[in-house]
Amino acid sequence: MNRTLPVQKNDYIDVIVEDLTHDGAGVAKVDGYPLFVPNTLPGEKAKIKVIKVNKGYGFGKLIEIYEESPYRVKPSCLIYKECGGCQLQHVSYEGQLKAKEKQVRDVLERIGKLGNVKVHPVLGMQNPWRYRNKAQVPIGEQEGGLIGGFYQQRSHQIINMKECIIQQEKNDEVVQTVIDICSRYGVHAYNEGKNKGDLRHIMARYGLVTGEVMVVLVTRTADLPHKNKMIEDIISQIQGVKSIVQNINPKKTNVIFGEETKLLWGEEVIYDFIGDIKFAISARSFYQVNPEQTKVLYEKALEYANLTGEENVIDAYCGIGTISLFLAKKAKKVFGVEIVPEAIEDAKRNAELNSISNAEFAVGEAEVVIPRWFEEGNAADVLVVDPPRKGCDEALLQTIIDMKPKKVVYVSCNPGTLARDLRILEDGGYKTVEVQPVDMFPQTMHVECVSQLVLKM
């Protein structure tokens, strides 16, 4: 037992919650020692039980709230506490947006030393529910029948769930119908411990504008009993289904997809629109799960790019070309780069689909391809980056600094790595003009940001 710490395991103590962590737990401090307490909110006075202590921080369990936050609400989801997919359903939407804005401000100041940068209030949704257009549901068995749901927090125990209130209702309907069909034909769920069984996951994709549906069955083996009859039932029972796909994942892993994907019926893709741009979406395509807010995000990126039609633009981490195609409508030329070959094939197809001829796409690491383009004399007037959570590679940041595009538009899904990278670009000759957070994932702690940087003269 560490007697130098101000609290010990199993202590019951009264605390005042001061802040939220990036995953939605409350932060209370005892003599400067932080305790992370799930399901508590800033400003609340509460009794907690200390359940774990480390040298620098500990964890607590909420026992009783003496004074509630004005932002506390009753969660709408019946399995909210067990599921873990959402972290903020116990917070009003106004409170969620304020917490996300504070998170962005805090990390810009703490990590990026950018306390003077203008951070706008978060752009939220009018209705922050039923926004996700893709459901990926693990399948299990219970009392002889199939169940689908989400894994309980910190476990692989599936919680049976008939609906998810951040999913499009159509996806709930599709998943439940497919579960019922598979159960009827005696399909067995994959058993992770024994590495046996057939069906691992069901994925549903829904085109919000087009109403088109894709069903993906992720199986352990290529052989799926009664496959043809199940396909017939899916077609007859699900309105709007355009594509039925099987992905085969024989490995003993918790990774959802295997390497082999085959079309069982219909088209290989479904279509949807973001704004007036049409996208083909395959089973493995990366496509933003909240198309309504994606439009908001991309319009802000376009505003910050402030294109006149004379600019060459580079889009690093371009994915299936979503931002690139928005940029191409306003730019002279857009060059997109992405490490995933299938994504680049999708990007080329999407450019063709929209009759956009001034966008070119290359496969490779942004930190390798863009420096090569620069050496070959292809510099950008505007450079857009939309990196994964780990942020931009150092080599890419250095290339931006060397290339000196007049503007950089940084789209980020992780405020912490955004702050780090903005600091590097600031030290390399750029000024961060403003940051606009966008709420792409209501009811969770995730927040996206669009940042505008200009070259200092």
The CATH number of residue 345's host domain is 3.40.50.150
Q: Name the nearest CA neighbour of 444 among 162, 124, 205.
A: 124
Torsion angle, alpha carbons of 346, 351, 354, 357, to 10: -170
* 373 close to 345: Cβ distance less than 8 angstroms: no
Tell me what the mean pLDDT of segment 81-106 comes to. 93
Tokens of 61: 């369990």
pLDDT of residue 342: 87
Tokens of 412: 């980020």
Grade residue 374 by pLDDT with cuts at 50, 70 and 90.
Answer: confident
Annotated catalytic residues are: 413
pLDDT digits (tens, 9 = 90+) for 16-38: 999 999 888 999 999 999 999 99
Would residue 207 count as lying in a domain? yes
CA 333 to chain centre: 28
Residue 1 has pLDDT above 80, yes or no: no
Tokens of 367: 């930190």
Spatial separation of the C-alpha atoms in residues 157 and 109, rounded to whole Å: 40
Q: Which amino acid would we find at residue 19?
A: D
Tell me what the mean pLDDT of segment 321-326 comes to. 95
Q: Name the nearest CA neighbour of 133 among 208, 215, 217, 245.
A: 208
Which residue range is the domain that position 52 belongs to? 12-69
For residue 221, count other CB atoms closer than 10 A to its CB: 12
- 454: Cα within 13 Å, side-chain hemisphere: 8
Residue 379 has pLDDT above 70, yes or no: yes
Residue 326 burial by CB count (10 A; 0-12/13-18/19+): exposed, middle or buried? buried
Would residue 223 count as lying in a domain? yes
pLDDT digits (tens, 9 = 90+) for 213-245: 999 999 999 998 899 999 999 999 999 999 999
pLDDT of residue 285: 86
pLDDT of residue 156: 72
pLDDT of residue 384: 97
One domain, residues 224 and 320: no
pLDDT of residue 155: 66
For residue 273, count other CB atoms closer than 10 A to its CB: 15
Residue 413 has pLDDT above 70, yes or no: yes
Tell me what the mean pLDDT of segment 132-149 comes to. 90
Beta bridge partners of 247: 218, 261
One domain, residues 331 and 394: yes
- 67: Cα within 13 Å, side-chain hemisphere: 8
Tokens of 326: 């928005």
Beta bridge partners of 273: 278
One domain, residues 241 and 321: no
Spatial separation of the C-alpha atoms in residues 309 and 167, rounded to whole Å: 38
Grade residue 82 by pLDDT with cuts at 50, 70 and 90.
Answer: confident
Q: Is 12 helix (H, G, I), strand (E, B) or coil?
A: strand
Tell me what the mean pLDDT of segment 71-77 comes to. 95
Tell me what the mean pLDDT of segment 72-79 comes to. 93
pLDDT of residue 329: 95
pLDDT of residue 361: 96
One domain, residues 267 and 240: yes
- With pLDDT > 70 as the criterion, what percentage of the chain qualifies? 98
Would residue 91 count as lying in a domain? no
* 356 close to 389: Cβ distance less than 8 angstroms: no
Residue 160 has pLDDT above 70, yes or no: yes
Residue 168 has pLDDT above 80, yes or no: yes
User: Phi/psi at 313 (nearest 5 deg)?
Assistant: -120, 135
Q: Is 71 helix (H, G, I), strand (E, B) or coil?
A: coil
CATH number, domain of 195, equals 2.40.50.1070
One domain, residues 219 and 255: yes
One domain, residues 58 and 120: no
Would residue 90 count as lying in a domain? no
pLDDT of residue 146: 92
Grade residue 151 by pLDDT with cuts at 50, 70 and 90.
Answer: confident
One domain, residues 54 and 154: no
Residue 184 has pLDDT above 60, yes or no: yes
Q: Which residues contact 153 (CB under 8 A, 6 or more apart)?
A: 82, 83, 84
Tokens of 291: 């198309």
Instruction: Map tokens 């995953």 to a residue.
Output: 23
pLDDT of residue 52: 95
pLDDT of residue 3: 60
Give ∠ CA 271-450-320 in degrees, rounded to 5.
30
Which residue among 241, 274, 307 closes a domain?
274
One domain, residues 294 and 269: no
Would residue 320 count as lying in a domain? yes
Residue 2 has pLDDT above 70, yes or no: no
One domain, residues 258 and 310: no
Cα separation values, 19 from 32, 35, 413, Å = 13, 11, 21
Tell me what the mean pLDDT of segment 100-120 comes to. 96
pLDDT digits (tens, 9 = 90+) for 194-209: 888 899 999 999 999 9
Q: Which residues contact 142 (CB under 8 A, 6 or more apart)?
A: 160
One domain, residues 362 and 426: yes
Grade residue 378 by pLDDT with cuts at 50, 70 and 90.
Answer: confident
Q: What is the largest CA-CA distance in the chain?
A: 70
User: Phi/psi at 182 (nearest 5 deg)?
Assistant: -65, -40
Would residue 146 count as lying in a domain? yes
First to last CA, the chain: 58
One domain, residues 306 and 425: yes
pLDDT digits (tens, 9 = 90+) for 260-303: 999 999 999 999 999 999 999 999 888 899 999 999 999 999 99
Would residue 3 count as lying in a domain? no
Residue 362 has pLDDT above 70, yes or no: yes
Instruction: Map tokens 């199940």 to a residue.
Output: 230
One domain, residues 385 and 263: no
CATH number, domain of 29, equals 2.40.50.140
Which residue among 54, 69, 84 closes a domain?
69
Higher pLDDT, 412 or 142: 412
Would residue 359 count as lying in a domain? yes
pLDDT of residue 47: 98
Grade residue 109 by pLDDT with cuts at 50, 70 and 90.
Answer: very high
Tokens of 454: 């200009």
Which residue among 28, 49, 69 closes a domain?
69
- 450: Cα within 13 Å, side-chain hemisphere: 24
Domain count, the chain: 3
For residue 422, count other CB atoms closer than 10 A to its CB: 27
> Which H helix or E strand runs over 205?
strand 199-206
Render 119-157 in DSSP notation, one character per residue: EPPPB--SS-SS-B-EEEEEEEEETTEEEEEEEPTTS-P
Q: Which residues contact 174 (CB under 8 A, 6 or more apart)?
A: 135, 204, 206, 213, 215, 238, 241
